[in-house]
Amino acid sequence: MEAGRKAEMGDVELLERLGVLRERIESEIGRRIVGQRGIIERLLITLLGDGHALLVGVPGLAKTLIVSTLAEVLDLDFSRIQFTPDLMPSDITGTEVLQEDHQAGTRRFEFVRGPIFANVILADEINRTPPKTQAALLQAMQEGEVTVATHTFRLERPFFVLATQNPIEQEGTYPLPEAQLDRFMFELRITYPSASEEVKVADMTSSGPMASLDSVVSADELLSFQELVRRIPAPPSVVEYAVRLARSTRPADEAAPDFVRRMVSWGAGPRASQHMVLSAKARAALHGRPVPNFDDVRDVAPDVLRHRVVPGFEAEAEGRNADDLVAELIEHSRSW
């Protein structure tokens, strides 16, 4: 009866229910994760927008724990892939194995699914494996399917890739190809906790086993929220603003301001504007609003653009990184 009632919910009721569940999700995660509320909200936005996220932070900031906890609270199948230099594409996607039937005297190839066949994939230290293996994720992230030999297999939705990366250790790592980076809706920077949060973390992790958590949302309900976000109308002016913001990162584009022409060697592609609009809609829905606005776009823009903007020599000479340039561009856009 309850499942039937949820199926008949209109968009207004779904929006209200999402607001209630958001509080329950954050409360449940907070029983195990101290702080990081901004990161958790960003992950929920990514998930509602049917996207993927790259988590960048030094070791010990609970990147892996955040991802596994989120999957547990959302009642999703979780799979962790530890990326190493010797990891092969088949270690991710799966492979065909020759099976022998002794009774029938026959042999046949049978596909054995790899860890990619789950709802939430943690690609741990993704930059530790060569580009060939990193590329095994491309089709799955963009098309939601995996091709092995001559067979294509659909991945079960929702499908959510969260990759982690250590920003300070460069030995034995491989830069992520631009095509790979562009598949991530967000690049999220995880910073150190505050002093009070670190005290609480030290106390929690040295006092006994981790708290057991309750599941708050089912996979089917999560899919209904993703569909709701797609149905949310974005005002033409908001869409145009997101597109102009993305185009303004391209030094050869007429919309680019002077400092971008001087300091950026490569800007964001069309997928950036798509992700800004979609994540702005997801943010609005998460906050109980049926329509996104300019502030939603400005809020998500740094996480959408930072891994798509490549600073040039002049920016490097002045000690300015992609975050600095994106922040200046967003401030500049307020005058449009």
More confident: 107 or 331: 331
CA distance 322 to 310: 7
Kindly state whether residues 309 and 262 are assigned to the same domain: yes
What's the pLDDT score for residue 205?
80
Kindly state whether residues 59 and 171 are assigned to the same domain: yes
Confidence of residue 42 (pLDDT cuts 50, 70, 90): very high
Is the pLDDT score of 2 beyond 60?
no
How many domains does one find in the chain?
Answer: 2
pLDDT digits (tens, 9 = 90+) for 270-297: 999 999 999 999 999 999 999 999 999 9
CA distance 69 to 4: 28
What's the pLDDT score for residue 5?
44
Kindly state whether residues 192 and 260 are assigned to the same domain: no
Kindly state whether residues 91 and 170 are assigned to the same domain: yes
What's the pLDDT score for residue 170?
62
Please give the structure tokens belonging to residue 157: 């939705």
pLDDT digits (tens, 9 = 90+) for 12-34: 888 989 988 888 898 888 888 88
Q: 38-47, 92-101, 184-193, 265-274: which range is least confident on average? A: 92-101
Is the pLDDT score of 109 beyond 80?
no
Is the pLDDT score of 4 beyond 50?
no
In a domain, 219, yes or no: no
Kindly state whether residues 127 and 172 are assigned to the same domain: yes
Q: What is the pTM of this model?
A: 0.87
Last residue of a domain, one of 158, 193, 208: 208
What's the pLDDT score for residue 60?
78
CA distance 56 to 58: 7
Q: Which domain holds residue 34?
A: 11-208
Kindly report whether the peptide bond that precedes residue 115 is cis, defined as omega within 30 degrees of 0: no
Percent of the chain with pLDDT over 90: 46
What's the pLDDT score for residue 9?
66
Whether 161 contacts 43, CB under 8 Å: no
Whether 162 contacts 115, CB under 8 Å: no
Residue range 321-326: average pLDDT?
Answer: 95
* SS3 category, 208: coil
pLDDT digits (tens, 9 = 90+) for 236-257: 999 999 999 999 999 999 989 9
Kindly state whether residues 187 and 281 are assigned to the same domain: no
Kindly state whether residues 254 and 291 are assigned to the same domain: yes
